[in-house]
Structure 1
């Protein structure tokens, strides 16, 4: 039997510009699956593991900046979406999550694959919608259309995010041989018309007066996509000495004019007082550097956040203004009306240049390990590659190493290790450019089902840092001092990616010293019909010693007068 409101829902998705759906197999969801799979304007892929499927959809929506549909069957399948949905919520990525469900009369009746799915994702979606369970009255079809319109509009409005449509379905689920799908050419569609928030003249006067009170100004962009216009105006501000621009690798706004090596010096007590700001201006989402967060909190500087609308957290414990306009329009205004203290700007740039001039020579003298290997790999990654960083040490190493020309992507919404592989795979589905995933062994093996599908991803390159443990715990004072470190925190493992490469048809190279690493990198980005893995095997205790040695040497160079 064909349910026309389901067909209409898919037609409305297409009319609103949705082009991609990630489907996970199941019987209860068959009417939804078939409606998406047969629509000529929607590219549907099937991924069996719902947890991977959701992160793959997230990786696609992250790049496309448009909603991607997820479809799964009833029961625990829906719960397997939860980690990616939470990540999408906090990273503000639009997903249309459609779950099939038992009809209401069969909930809590010990029927198979039945759980309480209504509002299952709680506060981690922008909205939860319950589709009608029958269409006996014409108003039910109107209601279904209204729900679909509202859900897609909500996911696509700032801040973007996931929405959930739960659809109760009764048997029969499959169309008869003679039944044909008929997608309507005209369907009721309503859409919001977005405005462009700008500062009023009155607001500009007040802000201009407020700015005269500050002369030690830091601009701290958070995680966001690359933006040429914002990059250009930030460079102008820096060159004119209007403010100090501090950029994490996740900001995608690093340049030779910004402070990129801050992680190496903001935590040094001897220099920190000279760096204290009196005003912090932020926009975008979170930053990666814990040292920078602690430094900014300790400074007790006034904090202004720029955002067109939506919730704003008090990250630095001193939020005093939420300025509702686009970051670009505020920075354009700021360029005309601010001036930082010259000695303040000079001190930041002096420390930046010292680290920049010493870090690579220090790394050359270091023993081989993750840190040195990552520095070597970054020199070989093409500028047009998208670079996905797994959480834990991968993202931190890259943040230590300064300006990157590539787009940097990392799941810092919840900062979990789950889903890094799958998110990179989703990204690879959206582009022909190389996609590079830099990951640790725990994150990599945790998400191996990312590759369990039948779709080409020959542009995917994986740099795997395998120290056979969760090495970050050796760098945290608490667990590092415990006798249970290796068994209960690092959770040591013996796995190698060689077998996985055979299972999934990857090209594979193992490196365990500088020479074998250079050999592995030589043709790593050469075109191939297969994805590639470069596994870099190191020792966890040795990596911790190297990191501490490099940090110590950099600190010495900064304090050496």
Structure 2
């Protein structure tokens, strides 16, 4: 039986610019699956594992900057979306989550695949809607149209994020052979009109007067997509001595002037008052460096956060005094035009420490024993320009922050919304579906094997390159003071495992290479980024204990710089 309001939902989504859907097989969701699959303007993929499917959709929406639809059947399938939904919420990525459900009267009646699905994602979605379960009155149809419009508008409005539509469906689910799905053209489309995203003259005058009270201004961009205009402005601000700029790897804004080795030298300057700012200006989302966060909190400096209208301002550094509702580019253009009472000495002492580490770094790292740190330094020099680099959480993203790279020609992506290891593979796979450019995934063994179903589908990914750092354990726990000192470290924290990625590579048709030393890695990297018809996987073997020792030794030698 054709359920016309379901077809209307899909038609309205298409009218509002939705072009991609990720579907997971199921019977209760059949009317939704068929409607999306048969709509001529929406490209559908099917991913069987809902946990993986949701991260695939996240990886796509993050690159497209447009809602991607998720569709699943009733019951625990919807719960499997939850980790990716939370990640999308905190990364502000637009996803339209559509879950098929039992009719309300069958909830809690021990019917199969039935759980409590209304508002299942709690406060980790921007909004949750429950679709009508019958359409005998025209107002029910009007309500269904309104829900669809409101949900998509909400997902796209700043700050973007996931929105949930729960749809109770009754049998029969499948149309008869002769029935044709009708995607009406004359359907309501409620458009959004965006508000202003700039500072007016009065606001600029007030902020300019306030800035005269501060001499040591530090700008700390958080996670965001690359933005060449912002990057140029930040470089100019520091070059002209108007502000110090400290950039984490995931900000995608590191430039020749910005401070990038802060993770290495902050432990040695945290007691020195000359390094403390008297004003922190932030924009974007989270930063990686725990050391930088703790340093800024201890400074007690006032904090201004800049974000477009509608966003919330987190008090990350425990000193929030001003939330500036404008686009960061507009604020930085304003900041570049004024002449604050700045301290050149403040910028110079940070710059001197950064250059000191940079000048010593290469020699120290090349003289170290082979391990993950040295391996990733070698890999970083081979990553193609204009490509995408996905980093898993735990050590992969931290190593890249330690490397202090400047002026990257590739985009760095990491699931830092919730900072979990789940979904790293799937997010990278979703990214490959949006671009022909190379997508590199660098991941630890735990995150990699945790999300192996990311590759359980029928779609080609010739542009995917995977580097697995296999130390047969959760190596980060050796670097955290608490678990590292416990006798239960190896069994209950590192969780040692003996797997290698070779069997998985054979199973999914990947080209497999491995390396256990510098020479083997050089040989592998020589051809790793050559074009191919299938994904390539390079597994770098090392020892967890040795990696921890190398990292501590390198830090000690750099401290001596």
Q: What band does the TM-score fall into relative to the shorter chain?
A: over 0.9
Partners in 2 of 1:303 and 1:145 — Cα distance? Answer: 43
Q: Note if contact 2:215-2:278 (Cα within 8 Å) is conserved in structure 1.
A: yes
The aligned residue for residue 106 of structure 2 is 106
Which of 376, 398, 417 aligns to 2:400? It is 398
The aligned residue for residue 380 of structure 2 is 378
Normalising by structure 1, report the TM-score.
0.98
C-alpha displacement at 1:271, in angstroms?
Answer: 6.9
Q: Note if contact 2:213-2:341 (Cα within 8 Å) is conserved in structure 1.
A: no
Q: SS in structure 1 opposite 2:83?
A: helix
Pairing of 1:83-94 with structure 2 (within 5 A): 83-94=83-94
Pairing of 1:1-40 with structure 2 (within 5 A): 1-40=1-40
Q: SS in structure 2 opposite 1:149?
A: helix
| Cα deviations by residue, 1:219-276 (Å, 9 ceiling, x for unpaired) | 0000000011111111111111100010000100011011111111112147742211
Q: Note if contact 2:370-2:517 (Cα within 8 Å) is conserved in structure 1.
A: yes
Pairing of 1:55-454 with structure 2 (within 5 A): 55-269=55-269, 272-309=272-309, 310-337=311-338, 338-402=340-404, 403=406, 404-454=408-458
| Cα deviations by residue, 1:385-425 (Å, 9 ceiling, x for unpaired) | 10000000000000111123210000000000000000000
Partners in 1 of 2:533 and 2:52 — Cα distance? Answer: 23
Partners in 1 of 2:262 and 2:291 — Cα distance? Answer: 9
Q: Which runs of 5+ in 2 are unaligned?
A: none
Partners in 2 of 1:116 and 1:262 — Cα distance? Answer: 47
**Which shows bigger deviation, 232-241 or 114-123?**
232-241
Normalising by structure 2, report the TM-score.
0.98
Q: SS in structure 2 opposite 1:469?
A: coil
Q: SS in structure 2 opposite 1:74?
A: coil
Is the aligned partner of 1:42 residue 2:42? yes
The aligned residue for residue 472 of structure 1 is 476
| Cα deviations by residue, 1:80-113 (Å, 9 ceiling, x for unpaired) | 0000000000010000000000001111110000
| Cα deviations by residue, 1:434-460 (Å, 9 ceiling, x for unpaired) | 000010000000000000000011100
Partners in 1 of 2:300 and 2:337 — Cα distance? Answer: 26
Q: Note if contact 1:369-1:542 (Cα within 8 Å) is conserved in structure 2.
A: yes
Partners in 1 of 2:280 and 2:102 — Cα distance? Answer: 51
Partners in 2 of 1:332 and 1:240 — Cα distance? Answer: 14
| Cα deviations by residue, 1:324-353 (Å, 9 ceiling, x for unpaired) | 111111111111222420111111111111
Q: Note if contact 1:214-1:278 (Cα within 8 Å) is conserved in structure 2.
A: yes
Q: Note if contact 1:266-1:272 (Cα within 8 Å) is conserved in structure 2.
A: no
Q: Note if contact 1:264-1:551 (Cα within 8 Å) is conserved in structure 2.
A: yes
C-alpha displacement at 1:355, in angstroms?
Answer: 1.0
Q: Note if contact 2:279-2:302 (Cα within 8 Å) is conserved in structure 1.
A: yes
**Which shows bigger deviation, 351-360 or 331-340?**
331-340
Partners in 2 of 1:536 and 1:270 — Cα distance? Answer: 35
Partners in 2 of 1:245 and 1:433 — Cα distance? Answer: 30
The aligned residue for residue 514 of structure 2 is 510
Is the aligned partner of 1:494 residue 2:498? yes
Q: Note if contact 1:243-1:339 (Cα within 8 Å) is conserved in structure 2.
A: no
Partners in 2 of 1:134 and 1:527 — Cα distance? Answer: 52
Partners in 1 of 2:155 and 2:29 — Cα distance? Answer: 22
C-alpha displacement at 1:159, in angstroms?
Answer: 0.5
Q: Which runs of 5+ in 1 are unaligned?
A: none
Partners in 1 of 2:271 and 2:91 — Cα distance? Answer: 34
Partners in 2 of 1:408 and 1:396 — Cα distance? Answer: 12
Partners in 1 of 2:110 and 2:386 — Cα distance? Answer: 53
C-alpha displacement at 1:140, in angstroms?
Answer: 0.6
Q: SS in structure 2 opposite 1:423?
A: helix
Q: Note if contact 1:458-1:531 (Cα within 8 Å) is conserved in structure 2.
A: yes
Q: SS in structure 1 opposite 2:528?
A: coil
Partners in 2 of 1:107 and 1:39 — Cα distance? Answer: 31
